[in-house]
Chain A
């Protein structure tokens, strides 16, 4: 088996991994290696053929594939060593990874490992939706693949499960494949499309008009034999079920971090995000292991992931210079209303680091919303937001972390009306 050493090993060449690699190069680090399991680097945006990428980081509106290609081109230009079709499958030491690919197995020993493995949508089975196992059931991810990469017709009438931002990607992809979306189903009392930029909203108006959002509802059962024939939609308030004929069902959103490598390496996880627990500098609780991008908490926009890549690169550099792996920290614990908080470990202010953000997501609608961060009896932070919508994340400043008492136990993060 081949063996090699590198200063920094980056797992995953999506926006987060590539942004981190480029920033590390910029900071003067030469010895780093990026491994990507797909044949082409660029990550999830490669599959998202609509626009809506690059607004915060490249300051222009790009399509997903264009955005992915821009990162890959930058990485090439800066001579980032990037191996595709190479999957990290396991750990063989605290900071040693085992990878496989057409060239065989190799063991890579690093001084720091960055996990940027992204996330996926929960498929039908994981949502325990009963009924037949017919053909015609997709996630947005697999749907995009069929439509954009295989140029394939997928069906004629679709029901979309979910009414959040990514559901709109499914809606557009179905339109491209000339498959009519007849309904979007959400268990919430309203859709969760807030915060998408105006031109997209206008472009989508017609599609949305034809695919009414069924609120307070859930797909109760999928009916069919070879192919889907209908779904039974249950009204969660009345319990009534109605059957909607369709040949296609797309399960959207309900993200889950691709945490397999993190967990199998014994990286402690956060119960809210389901990703690795990290502090503001994206250090995990395993010394020398860092995490960034959608692995942290499911999908955010790609520019958010890329910015985390830049942040984590700086943090890795500090670690390589100062070995600050064993940092004091307290967990940030979300209350019942909050789905997750990221980062979810509070560690002492570090003068070298610029101020970052703390993101959170809620389980229900709050309008207005009051965010409160407390430790013991002390309120560290309080802010009013106009609204908080589920399946959407909100960023607040993290300057309150300077007030955390590292001997006083967990920090509580709550959202109330």
Chain B
């Protein structure tokens, strides 16, 4: 999608990468009288790491104290507390329980408590065995104790970047999707030219929020300060009937020896098990593996065995942008009018607003004058979460438009009205995947047995293309 209007004046700021981090930065800067552009190589926003997270809105209680990550996580948490409800993004303040299953883990609890307090997360407290089972009665036997983190929450991992990008666009940020940046050149005066197969784009400042490829963009500016290793995380999503089995996010206790996995409710009413952590070489390898799924299955059996008796709704994998460093790789380069916002490892959803605010500060330090706009438009997403009232269940929504009573995807109860909205929204869905992420259609237990074709037809009719082209069929 593109809403650029030629002839093109150089933009003040170009943001490379419309993941959660780039979208947050775009929204942050859209408050000011700057001309910004948000660029992504994919045809839609959030198609990188941001679409495939475990969707925990972390407090930052276990971040390494003193790191930038810890600081930005804590700050971001509070910013999100205001923003998320206001933007209508699905979330639940579920709280998290860390369960100790062995001596090592049990002994790690006091340290974690101290760390949480050091990070300013004051409401964290220890739990006795009895308290653990009172909170989570379905857990397997054998827990030794635990830690309660009341602030840990769950969120819609796609809703967050979508809301922020939509708000940014509503306030004048240009969107340039399907534009892979391949090279940077300096033009006349202080102008830089970002180029790719799709053409060139002129701007004064560049912010690199390219996720897995942030190291490669950084190299274009002559740096070799970090290398991104894609760290795969595989996940299994269970049927909604599993939801009553857990009340909180069940977080593993890191002990250095073994990597644990979490069990978490999702805002859509499912239960998620994962992720694995495995370093790969190929940044395009986004599939799941038999080893990964087997590993998760065994872990699930060991934590919450009744879960494994429910149906599996989906499996997927995401790649974290891990680096050789144990902190975010955020560097301003005033001379080059460039800020690198890379290596946002495994906490980018939670830290996004904090990162955006921090990046704004760096821009100001570089001498970019920020004039607040007289008017600012906020944006609210349609309700997607189980804790919200979805249209199919809303008398007033259906009365206003009967299409909100026409269910197309029966498993997720997505109505024709919601699909229509997603096709006509400010940043419309242009692919089946985009439609799936915006509305949840085809994401339910039947995975499209009933609605795959219907939904494809709606999208194809809207775009004026053949349905076959949407499923990647080539003559």
Task: Mark out the residues of chain B between 287 and 341 whose CB falls within 8 Å of any chain A CB in the assembled complex.
Answer: 287-290, 292-293, 297, 311-316
Q: Residues of B contacting A124 with CB < 8 Å?
A: 447
Q: Residues of B contacting A378 with CB < 8 Å?
A: none
Q: Any chain A CB within 8 A of the CB of B406?
A: yes
Q: Which of B107-115, B371-379, B453-461 contacts A (4 or more CB under 8 A)?
A: B453-461
7 A-B pairs within 8 Å (CB atoms) are namely A103-B398, A103-B402, A128-B297, A133-B286, A133-B316, A142-B450, A150-B467
Contact of A125 among B297, B313, B392 (CB under 8 A): B313
Contact of A105 among B297, B395, B468 (CB under 8 A): B395
Q: Residues of B contacting A101 with CB < 8 Å?
A: 405-406
Nearest CB of A to B102, in Å:
28
Q: Any chain B CB within 8 A of the CB of A21?
A: no
Top 10 A-B residue pairs of the complex, sorted by shortest distance between their CB atoms:
A145-B453, A102-B402, A123-B447, A135-B472, A227-B472, A132-B287, A142-B452, A102-B405, A141-B449, A130-B290
Query: A141 contacts B471, CB within 8 Å?
Result: no
Query: B473 contacts A104, CB within 8 Å?
Result: no
Contact of B393 among A37, A100, A120, A226 (CB under 8 A): A100
Q: Residues of B contacting A346 with CB < 8 Å?
A: none
Encode contact with B along A155-193: 1 for CB under 8 Å, 0 otherwise: 100000000000000000000000000000000000000
Nearest CB of A to B431, in Å:
10
Spell out B's residues near A (CB within 8 Å): 236-237, 241, 284, 286-290, 292-293, 297, 311-316, 392-393, 395, 398-399, 402-403, 405-407, 410, 413, 432, 445-450, 452-454, 456-457, 466-468, 471-475
Query: B452 contacts A146, CB within 8 Å?
Result: yes
Task: Mark out the residues of chain A between 119 and 157 whose CB falls within 8 Å of any chain B CB in the assembled complex.
Answer: 120-126, 128, 130-136, 138-139, 141-142, 145-146, 149-150, 152-155
Query: B290 contacts A125, CB within 8 Å?
Result: no
Known interface pairs A89-B413, A135-B432, A141-B449; 10 further A-B residue pairs with C-beta atoms within 8 A, sorted by A's residue number: A102-B398, A105-B393, A123-B447, A125-B314, A130-B287, A132-B286, A136-B471, A139-B446, A146-B452, A146-B467
Bound complex: CA A319 to CA B47 (Å): 55
Interface centre among A120, A124, A152 (most CB of B within 10 A): A152
Query: A104 contacts B467, CB within 8 Å?
Result: no
Query: B448 contacts A37, CB within 8 Å?
Result: no
A contacts with B: majority SS? mixed
Q: Any chain B CB within 8 A of the CB of A225?
A: yes
Nearest CB of B to A167, in Å:
15
Bound complex: CA A256 to CA B393 (Å): 26
Known contacts A89-B413, A125-B315, A126-B311; is-contact A131 B287 (Cβ 8 Å): yes
Query: B473 contacts A105, CB within 8 Å?
Result: no
Known contacts A89-B413, A131-B287; is-contact A152 B452 (Cβ 8 Å): no
Known contacts A100-B407, A101-B406, A128-B312; is-contact A153 B473 (Cβ 8 Å): yes
Task: Mark out the residues of chain A between 89 and 128 whose CB falls within 8 Å of any chain B CB in the assembled complex.
Answer: 89, 100-105, 120-126, 128
Known contacts A100-B407, A150-B456; is-contact A1 B473 (Cβ 8 Å): no
Bound complex: CA A138 to CA B286 (Å): 20
Residue of A nearest to B442 (CB): A142
Bound complex: CA A1 to CA B241 (Å): 27
Query: A100 contacts B453, CB within 8 Å?
Result: no
Query: A152 contacts B312, CB within 8 Å?
Result: no
Q: Any chain B CB within 8 A of the CB of A5?
A: no
Contact of B290 among A134, A221, A226 (CB under 8 A): A221
Q: Residues of A contacting B237 with CB < 8 Å?
A: 125
Residue of B nearest to A141 (CB): B449
Q: Residues of B contacting A263 with CB < 8 Å?
A: 241
Nearest CB of A to B141, in Å:
22
Known contacts A126-B313, A149-B453; is-contact A135 B471 (Cβ 8 Å): yes
Query: B449 contacts A121, CB within 8 Å?
Result: yes
Bound complex: CA A121 to CA B407 (Å): 20
Q: Residues of A contacting B402 with CB < 8 Å?
A: 102-103
Residue of A nearest to B391 (CB): A100
Q: Residues of A contacting B445 with CB < 8 Å?
A: 120, 126, 260
Query: B311 contacts A145, CB within 8 Å?
Result: no
